[in-house]
């Protein structure tokens, strides 16, 4: 089918909207006359298709093409051809995330696209922390929605999954508090409109932090399954994590930066530099269950890409219980203990904390950075921003695991303490009890759990394969184009 003499085609699954052109419409600015001149008098039907056009760096934009034909039935089939797209969405906006632009970004860039695509919305601008989580847990009439949209950063996304996962378990009679329970996957998809400080979950699942691109992934109804870890302390549920669980460096950066929220996203640079200079290390024991039956390792060259590895469920996942004897243990002094359940790519590190990690394979990559010199730690950090392998250093080890535990050194009673209580005690005592005057490392760091500080240090982490779904498709290989469907052929 030709437009202005050019043969054009559109990928059916990337149609945003289709509208019939009315011949006598008041909006007709002579286009029908032009269509007739070029296509002949037989052309009685025309329709305009809005579709996804790819730009640079995984960005999507909306483009339009008008098709003409003589056959009304063909035209109708096109109008009905849009595949399952969401029709009703529940939108939560965090007005205080990132640079406080969430509301403006949604109203100016996203809402008009939803309207064009015929999507209706219920919009809730949050009024306090955990507003969205609590609304999803108890109040939201979820049956009427095809998905939930989160406008904010990783912390806001974390609220949404906590609400949704909890609600799904309670509705299906699963005890969300038990670390041994197989959790019920959430059926509603979540869309992320990036409006936070790091926005790593959006970047690692879409390839860019661009609100329009994210809105278009929602409109075309993309679906990307994603793993989530449950974090427990002594059989008490603490939180879920989908991206980074970090103790030591990333935990300290987060807790320091929370006191500097007024700085906006720059707080992470400030606290990052401060914590790098402080150079604290922490002692403890990490035990882990290596992932079984896996098809890759954290040292692979291959990346998690759309339609390839991102949807691989490894044999170990969701699966057979591994015996207690298969646990491995590492004791030592660590600058950082990180678990990356996805690459954790973000503008700070476009390849990510664990570049070969997969979104939906039922595993997390456990990265142990042992105590080393400041210079060596800097080498490790800088490698996140270059082609060099950040794991190819003597003091770094990385394991693909399905479960892990951490126990800080020092007395059991300390590690059982709620961290707030522990920090209170520290105010009245020296940081290091062994060497009161030396100013060396404190005993405990805290865990950075997708950008939220955890109150306990001793934790038990289990990966739940494909527990949630996003309106995304993973990062596309730049050279790969999907099969193109010519409208003449439908
Ligand atoms: C000298 C060059 C140093 C380069 C360091 C590169 C390493 C950066 C890794 C960043 C990993 C980010 C993982 C994502 C974490 C987010 O969940 C969390 C909260 O995000 P948000 O809610 O949007 O604010 N962000 C962080 O914890 C920030 C870590 C920044 C560390 C410098
Ligand atoms: N209305 C609100 N007022 C204050 N805090 C909020 C509000 N809505 C959400 N939050 C909290 O703000 C924190 C940070 O949100 P996020 O969107 O991740 O921004 P950032 O990326 O800048 O950290 C989250 O912990 C979330 O629970
Ligand atoms: Ca994973």
Do 433 and 293 lie in one domain? The reply is yes
Question: 239 pairs with which residues across the strands?
Answer: 231
Q: Report the complex ipTM.
A: 0.96
Identify whether residues 95 and 214 lie together within a single domain.
Answer: yes
* Nearest atom of ligand 2 to the alpha carbon of 97: 19
Nearest ligand, measured from the Cα of 200: 1
Q: What is the pLDDT of residues 252-280, one digit of tens each?
A: 999 999 999 999 999 999 999 999 999 99
Task: Give yes or no for residue 89 having a pLDDT over 80.
Answer: yes
**Shared-domain flag, residues 360 and 459:** yes
Claim to verify: residue 216 and residue 271 sit in the same structural domain: no
Same domain? 339 vs 459: yes
Q: Which one of 96, 199, 244, 254 would you pick to mutate in the ligand 2 pocket, going by the greatest count of ligand atoms within 8 A of its CB? A: 96
Whether pLDDT at 317 is above 70: no
The answer to whether 70 and 95 have CB atoms below 8 angstroms apart is no
Write down the pLDDT at residue 40: 58
Interval 351-372: pLDDT, tens: 999 999 999 999 999 999 999 9
Find the CATH number of the domain harbouring 314. Answer: 2.60.200.40
- % residues pLDDT > 70 (the chain): 80
Residue 47 is encoded by which pair of tokens? 């329709």
Q: What is the mean pLDDT of residues 106-124?
A: 97
CATH of the domain at 176: 3.40.50.10330
Nearest CA to ligand 2 atom 5: 129
Q: Which residue has the higher pLDDT, 450 or 439?
A: 450
Query: Strand 244-248 relative to strand 282-290: parallel, antiparallel, unpaired?
Result: unpaired
Domain count for the chain: 3
When pLDDT is averaged across residues 321-337 and rounded to a whole number, the result is 86
Is 152 close to ligand 2, i.e. is its CB under 6 Å away? Answer: yes
Q: Are residues 106 and 89 in the same domain?
A: yes
pLDDT at res. 139? 84
Are 258 and 359 part of one and the same domain? yes
Task: Output the 3-class SS for 389-400.
Answer: CCCCCCCEEEEE
Contacting residues for 182 by C-beta, under 8 A, at least 6 apart: 174, 318, 464
- Confidence bin at 18 (pLDDT 50/70/90): confident
Give the ligand with the smallest distance to the CA of 384: 1
Q: Is residue 410 located within the same domain as residue 444?
A: yes
Instruction: Write down the pLDDT at residue 287.
Output: 98
Q: Are 48 and 65 in contact (CB under 8 A)?
A: yes
Nearest to residue 451, comparing CAs of 180, 154, 231, 196? 154
Q: How far is the CA of 454 from the centre of ligand 2 (A)?
A: 16
Nearest CA to ligand 2 atom 22: 98
Q: Both tokens of residue 371?
A: 């105590």
Q: 331 and 454 share a domain? A: yes
Whole-number Å distance, alpha carbon 345 to ligand 1 midpoint, is 9
Res 282 pLDDT > 60: yes
Span 222-236, mean pLDDT? 95
Given a cut of 60, whether residue 160 has pLDDT beyond it is: yes
- Determine whether the shortest distance from the Cβ of 153 to ligand 2 is under 6 A: yes
The reply to whether 300 belongs to the active site is: no
Given 154, 227, 252, 460, the catalytic residue: 154
What pLDDT does residue 156 have?
96
Last residue of a domain, which of 30, 48, 83? Answer: 83
Ligand 2 within 6 A of CB of 196: yes
Assign residue 8 the CATH number of its domain.
2.30.29
Whole-model pTM: value is 0.87
Q: How far is the CA of 87 from the centre of ligand 3 (A)?
A: 30
Distance 388 CA to ligand 1 centre (A): 19
Q: Which residues form the domain of 206? A: 84-223+471-490
How far apart are the C-alpha atoms of 43 and 146, rounded to whole Å? 37
CA 438 / ligand 2 centre spacing (Å): 37
User: In sequence order, what are the beta bridge partners of 288?
Assistant: 328, 404
pLDDT value of residue 38: 59
Q: In this predicted model, what pLDDT tens digit does every residue of 68-82 receive, in sequence order?
A: 777 777 777 766 666
Q: Interior CA angle at 385 toward 384 and 391, to 5°?
A: 25
Query: Is the per-residue pLDDT at 54 higher than 50?
Result: yes
Of 58, 83, 108, at which residue does a domain stop? 83
Q: Can you tell me the distance from the alpha carbon of 410 to that of 445, in angstroms, rounded to the nearest whole number? A: 13
Tell me, yes or no, whether 374 and 430 share the same domain: yes
Dihedral of the alpha carbons of 41, 44, 45, 48, in degrees to the nearest 10: 50
Q: pLDDT per residue over 287-314, tens digit each?
A: 999 998 777 899 998 899 897 644 555 5
Kindly state if the Cβ of 197 falls inside 6 Å of ligand 2. Answer: yes
Nearest ligand atom owner, CA of 227? 3
The verdict on 400 and 309 lying in the same domain is: yes
The residue contributing the CA closest to ligand 1 atom 2 is 382
Same-domain status, 150 and 68: no
Q: What is the Cα–Cα distance from 16 to 3, expressed in whole angstroms?
A: 19
Q: Mean of the per-residue pLDDT values for the chain? A: 86
């Amino acid at each position: 089918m030709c437009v202005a003499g050019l043969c054009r085609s559109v990928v059916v699954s990337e149609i945003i909207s289709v509208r019939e052109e009315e011949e006598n419409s008041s909006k007709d600015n002579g286009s029908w006359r032009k269509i007739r001149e070029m296509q002949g008098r037989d052309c009685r039907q025309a329709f305009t298709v809005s579709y996804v056009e790819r730009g640079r760096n995984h960005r999507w934009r909306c483009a339009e093409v008008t098709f003409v034909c003589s056959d009304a039935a063909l035209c109708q089939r096109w109008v009905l051809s849009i595949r399952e797209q969401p029709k009703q969405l529940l939108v939560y906006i965090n007005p205080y995330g990132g640079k406080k632009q969430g509301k403006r970004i949604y109203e100016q860039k996203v809402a008009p696209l939803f309207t064009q695509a015929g999507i209706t919305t219920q919009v809730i601008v949050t009024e306090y922390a955990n507003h969205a989580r609590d609304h999803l847990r108890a109040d939201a009439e979820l049956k009427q929605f095809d998905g939930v949209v989160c406008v904010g950063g990783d912390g806001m996304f974390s609220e949404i999954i906590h609400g949704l996962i909890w609600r799904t378990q309670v509705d299906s009679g699963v005890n969300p508090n038990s670390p041994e329970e197989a959790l019920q996957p959430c059926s509603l998809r979540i869309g992320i409109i990036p409006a936070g400080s790091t926005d790593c979950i959006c970047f690692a699942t879409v390839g860019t932090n661009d609100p329009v691109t994210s809105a278009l992934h929602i409109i075309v109804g993309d679906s990307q399954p994603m793993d989530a870890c449950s974090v427990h302390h002594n059989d008490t549920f603490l939180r879920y994590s989908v991206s980074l669980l970090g103790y030591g460096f990333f935990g300290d950066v987060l807790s320091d930066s929370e006191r500097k929220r007024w700085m906006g996203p720059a707080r992470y640079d400030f606290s990052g530099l401060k914590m790098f200079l402080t150079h604290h290390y922490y002692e403890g024991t990490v035990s882990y269950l290596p992932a079984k039956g896996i098809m890759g390792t954290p040292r692979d060259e291959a990346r998690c890409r759309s339609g390839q590895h991102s949807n691989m469920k490894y044999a170990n996942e969701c699966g057979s219980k591994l015996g207690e004897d298969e646990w491995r243990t590492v004791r030592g002094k660590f600058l950082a203990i990180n678990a990356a359940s996805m690459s954790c790519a973000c503008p700070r590190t476009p390849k990510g904390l664990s570049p070969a990690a997969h979104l939906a394979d039922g595993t997390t990559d456990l990265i142990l950075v042992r105590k080393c010199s400041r210079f060596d730690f800097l080498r490790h950090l800088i490698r996140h921003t270059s082609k060099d392998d950040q794991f190819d250093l003597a003091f770094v080890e990385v394991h693909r695991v399905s479960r892990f535990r951490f126990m800080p050194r020092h007395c059991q009673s300390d590690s059982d303490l709620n961290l707030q209580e522990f920090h209170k005690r520290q105010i009245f005592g020296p940081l290091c009890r062994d060497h009161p005057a030396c100013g060396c490392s404190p005993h405990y760091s805290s865990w950075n759990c997708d950008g939220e500080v955890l109150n306990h240090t001793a934790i038990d982490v289990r990966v739940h394969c494909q527990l949630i779904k996003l309106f995304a498709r993973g990062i596309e290989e730049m050279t790969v184009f999907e099969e193109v469907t010519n409208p003449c052929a439908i």
